[in-house]
Chain A
């Protein structure tokens, strides 16, 4: 597997920031869009951005060993504080020397605050100024997760990057609740910063909120910038909102957040979203999608995804992707995977490995294109393969805002004819081999 080497010849950053546990160096900027390629020095690893972080909820990426993750060139992976906090719990993790030692992973780790799981998984979650009140699913007892407790759990886990507990509202919510949540998140940030016991070993990222309201999101971002954090996350999105609102909130946030620090858009993982948001100036992403869809037999390719359970693949003796250098594509055909996907754990693992490799290769290609200042051409080529002419309108609009106009034909004659749908339901036709 190719190890990231995009920055080979570059050693002077264009801009940088030095925080107690994080140094961020921007080495290349796209001359047209807001994209940049950077190195992020974390306590455990030197990551390259823009970067995708696979999600390892309970301390493992479903069925994949840490040795395989290294071979796939993953730099940072996620753990979930809610799950790890209940099992194995903070005391055991401290005894083990932190999550890195517990799971034998020596690269980067990021933990979320636990708040999102709480609100999405639990039936009774009551949010007060103190914290999130919920019913423990095991014994029905009333419990509370406060910003202080979340930080305490995350300090025990010991990840390189921790997220503040935020008052997260659905992106579809409207009315005064959105503003209430935004201001409360700022107050909870300050409480989190105060409670943080390991600021030279772990980074605490605030999360920009404000729903889909321009005014509220602006205020949120400006407040967070005042705290001079090592990096910032853009939250409260990827919850089913219209993509037209989604990209505008992302772009607004990256316009306000400092350019010499990393910007992390939470819950983003579809290939086209990664390409567009990188053009809008985002550096970090996480999503369960690639690993989850693998377990349903879906393999990711540049045209979309292949549902390998479908009958059409039973005699298809090509690899998933001829341009992919992952072990699955080197060894197995779509026909073989068709026989075993969803039936054996090895079927799951083979497609999971490929999907992670797919995401890593996409991000490497994005970084390479930015370093060589040809990102707009890369975007056009990506969209041509992914959608053909029928590119979703929101993508066209988002890219136009950063000086890439897909509706204008390029030298190859390709141009987009935007469609209203946010998502393309059927995958694009595969290019002739």
Chain B
């Protein structure tokens, strides 16, 4: 196990080092699919330069990173590449522990014929390696790392949150979640799955009538809000003003910058009638947070899958998505490899995603450099890419629910007259 993992690590380090030193690094760090106004490295350098000039980085509209990031890079700006590579690797190191946790929760209280649905220890043994490979060797991750986008740091923090939750440490989990929420607001939705997992681990049933439930919930939320407040106040003291709040959170929520990216927001708000702008901003932002409660209710027994779903929804519907965010939830996919037999659209979805990934740079070039296409072409591929991602996520959700159904009802179902049954959603 250690040897293949080391091999994968060495290979990914080599690829990243080669790309860092080549002329492609400059090209990649300017691609709009890989960097966004929130996490571009050029803007971090600009913020540091403004700080050196004596001007607050938040007085302009170029810099939208949190103050902790400025101070982190103030000290390590020369070693930025190493920082990014390290954050990538610690992310991938999570899943060794993660998988062991997952297996422990699978009790054998399932019908007899579902044995083939259960995963053998041998399969499970290889999952951490697959996850590490999926993340480290994913072209999206490599591009994001070479572009030195701070998305990698955000991913690392979320990975730490997942690790600490799975390990059962409520305090660390709350701290990392607060850090992730502080970086970009959307990980707030991971509060629910984190809470559910910890409750499950402590064998507290999710029942509003029980006092144990409320006790733990209040404890966890106090830890979370407390650490969030501490981090925000620390940022205040670092720079001496509250300017960062409208610059970072106001920017994420009100989407003033319409730089094209792979998300749905930019063209929608470029073509929006002024009268309805505020309404649709609210609709689109609520859309990200909206699925938390229904998903939590449906998946309260399966908080790990809930974490995956939430991360996927954030990556698709956030205001400035990049390929680094997509790489985060795609790294989870090998964990659900046992759902492969229930996936319905996987071929179509993978073709759509591959085609769109190939067409993004082509249509960008045609619009911006050749001048022979216009913004509609790029927008169309954006739409298609997001539809592909939505289909992927909902396909996995379908497969998961179907497996759960089979685990409780049996794999080979028969109709009343004995013929083979078909399952539908009704």
Whether both chains belong to one complex is answered with no
A interface, CB within 8 angstroms of B: none
B interface, CB within 8 angstroms of A: none
